[in-house]
Amino acid sequence: MWRKTASKYSLRAIHSTSKCLTTGEKKVWSELSSRSSSLSIKNAKIKKSLFEGGKPETIVNIERKAAYYSPVDIDKTFQLAYDELARVSGDKYALVDELKSQLTSETDTEIKAQLEKKLNKALVDAEIYNPEVLYNFEYDSELIDASQPVYRKLLHDKWKSHDLMVLMQRLEQLHVIPDTLPTLEPKVEVKVKFPHNTKSEFSSWIVPGTVLPAFAVCKPPTIEITLFDETAVTDDSNSSSLYTVVLVNPDEPDLSTNSFTTKLHYGLSNVPLSHTDNQIDSGKLLTDGEEFTFSSYIPILPEKNAQIQRACLWVFRQNEPLTIKSCERESFNIREFAAIHNLTPVGAHVWRQTFDRSVNAIREQYHLPRGRVFHRVRRTDPYMG
């Protein structure tokens, strides 16, 4: 049986070698009335060179373009491959339609949740091989639309393949876990940058574990929290989409016990986040900053010879809206804080700081007392706690 369909399909494929978007099957990915426009390539020229061959439009330089040679027969093979992929996608879209109709008639919430999970998977499967989606994901970051399940899947895979591993390595090796919280099951990607910086080495996203000078962290950071799981889809009434962000320094010297205490440096709560609106940036702080902040930002300003200190940023998912009036900064117990407010840690980030020449000026700006100075040789006095 399959042979019949295969031969029929191959005949059609031969007739449509160079012309695309003509046959019925190809409509799956060229039809844009029910699909988001972010699933197709925006630049018409690049789209044409992808489907009809010729010199690549992504090479702008005219000489390099002329000197470029595509692999032999790639266009013809691509057309046949596209037919094959579109056919598979067509089956998946049929499944999507079926699941959607089932969803509208279903009333049981549990079955509905299962159906939604299936629907999401079908939507991913229907687009995951779309060459236009792959192109946009690789080369056109503007078109990555996190409201589409397929882009979320691609983003998640990319995160897991590198950034997540780097983060977990740094969290463990720098003992952020278990010094602040026991452990972390990462569910969201947390990216941090300090956008007030005008030096290129400090203005981009921070790699976990980097040592930063005080002037580079003197104003509140932009925090990007990318949500991957489908349950976190937000609408305003749904309280599970509210997040709490806490920045702590577990290395604040405590001379009375000859040990360390944890200090709270920044606290945000009730921050609504969704797949598309996922940044806590200056714009948001400018308009709603007062509402979110329960503990305003004070940079970590290590004292001379107090060694390197860790800035641990934790992102929690809230189970209900919180009313945190204010919080004691000194001797902050983050475990207790999470337990009291019923918070689930979903993401974390860490950078490090040490004393540098910009510390004193920033202390003055923030009206903080001058920092203590410690002897540079470590003594053998025992622990007093």
Partner 1 sequence: MLSSSIKSAVLPVLRTFVRFKSKADVSPSTQRVIGQMSALSASKKQPKVIRLSNEDLIKHKSIVNAWNLYRRRKVSRQRDQLNKQYQSIVDAMEDLKQSEPELYVWANTKQTNKKFPLQLRVPTDYPPSQPWVYNVKK
Partner 2 sequence: MKGRILGRISLRAYSTDLKPVVSSTLLISRTPIISEELTAFESQYYKYNNELWKRLMWTFPKWYYYKDGTISEQMFKELNPAPVFNNPNVDFPNGRPEIRQGRDRRFKQELKLPKTYSTEVERADETAAESSDNLSRKIVPNSRITKADETKDLTSLERKLARTLYLVISLDGNKWSLPNFEMSREEKVPLHKLAETGFQSIGGETVNYYNVSNTPCHLHHSENKKEYFIKSHILAGKFAPVDNSTKFMWLAKEELQEYLEGAYYEDVKHLFNDV
Partner 3 sequence: MSFYSSVSELLRPVTQFKFSSLVNVSQVRNATKRVSGSRTNKNDSAGRRLGPKAYENTFVKPGQIIMRQRGTKIHPGENVGIGIDHTIYALEPGYVKFYYNPFHPYRKYVGISLKKDLDLPTPHFEPRTRRFGYVELTGLDATKEETRMSRKEFLATPKLKALQEEESAFAHKTIEYFKEQLSEYKDTVEDENMGAERLFKIYQLVTVGQPLEQAQIQATFDYLWDLKLAHNGADISTQREKYLNFVEKFDNTVSVDFSNLQDAKLFAYITPQARSAKKQEITNKLETSYSNKVLKASEKSEVMNLIKSPGIFSQKEQTDLTDTFLPKVLPLDVPGSIIEDVDTKKPPKGVVITRVYDAETKTLKVVGRPKEVYSN
**Is 59 a residue that touches partner 1 (CB under 8 A)?**
yes
Please report how close the Cβ of residue 133 comes to partner 2 at its closest, in angstroms. Answer: 21
Judged by CB, which is closer to partner 2: 28, or 192? 28
**Is 385 a residue that touches partner 2 (CB under 8 A)?**
no
How far, in whole angstroms, is CA 125 from its chain's centroid? Answer: 21
Task: Choose from partner 2, partner 3, partner 1, none: what does 70 bind? Cβ within 5-8 Å by kind.
Answer: partner 1
Q: Does residue 267 contact residue 289 with C-beta atoms inside 8 Å?
A: no
**Is 258 a residue that touches partner 3 (CB under 8 A)?**
yes
Which position among 21, 32, 42, 77 is part of the footprint of partner 2 (CB under 8 A)? 77
Judged by CB, which is closer to partner 1: 21, or 339? 21
Which position among 16, 23, 30, 80 is part of the footprint of partner 1 (CB under 8 A)? 80
Which position among 185, 235, 236, 290 is part of the footprint of partner 3 (CB under 8 A)? 185
How far, in whole angstroms, is CA 362 from its chain's centroid? Answer: 31
Taking the C-alpha atoms of residue 143 and residue 38, their distance in angstroms, rounded to an integer, is: 5
Q: Residue 49: which residues within 8 A CB-CB, separation 6 or more?
A: 55, 56, 57, 58
What binding mask, one character per residue, do residues 316-355 give for partner 3 by CB under 8 A, x or -? ----------------------------xx----------
Q: Does residue 181 contact residue 314 with C-beta atoms inside 8 Å?
A: yes
Taking the C-alpha atoms of residue 208 and residue 188, their distance in angstroms, rounded to an integer, is: 15
Task: Choose from partner 1, partner 2, partner 3, none: what does 7 bind? Cβ within 5-8 Å by kind.
Answer: partner 2
Amino acid at 188: V
**Is 173 a residue that touches partner 1 (CB under 8 A)?**
no
- Residue span binding partner 1 (CB under 8 A) among the ranges 75-83, 141-149, 196-204, 332-340: 75-83
Rg (CA), the chain: 27
Beta strand pairing call for 343-353 and 259-272? unpaired
Concatenate the DSSP letters of all residues of 160-182 into one string. Answer: HHTHHHHHHHHHHHTTHHHHTSS
Judged by CB, which is closer to partner 3: 208, or 220? 220
- Residue span binding partner 1 (CB under 8 A) among the ranges 68-76, 100-108, 309-317, 362-370: 68-76
- Residue span binding partner 3 (CB under 8 A) among the ranges 46-54, 145-153, 319-327, 363-371: 363-371
**Is 70 a residue that touches partner 1 (CB under 8 A)?**
yes
Concatenate the DSSP letters of all residues of 112-147 into one string. Answer: HHHHHHHHHHHHHHHHTT-HHHHHHHHH-GGG--TT
What binding mask, one character per residue, do residues 271-290 give for partner 3 by CB under 8 A, x or -? ----------xxx-xx----
Q: Residue 246: which residues within 8 A CB-CB, separation 6 or more?
A: 264, 266, 267, 268, 313, 314, 316, 334, 337
Q: Starting from the edge strand earliest in sequence, which strands make up the sheet with 222-227, in order?
A: 188-193, 222-227, 279-280
Amino acid at 353: Q
Taking the C-alpha atoms of residue 221 and residue 258, their distance in angstroms, rounded to an integer, is: 32
Q: Residue 299: which residues within 8 A CB-CB, separation 6 or more?
A: 214, 217, 218, 219, 265, 362, 366
Judged by CB, which is closer to partner 3: 42, or 112? 42
**Is 44 a residue that touches partner 3 (CB under 8 A)?**
no
Task: Choose from partner 1, partner 3, partner 2, none: what does 190 bind? Cβ within 5-8 Å by kind.
Answer: none
**Contacting positions for partner 2 (CB under 8 A):** 1-4, 6-7, 9-11, 13-14, 66-69, 71-74, 76-77, 80-81, 83-84
Binding site for partner 1 (CB under 8 A): 2, 46, 49-50, 56-59, 68, 70-71, 74-75, 77-78, 80-82, 84-85, 88, 129, 131, 134-135, 138-139
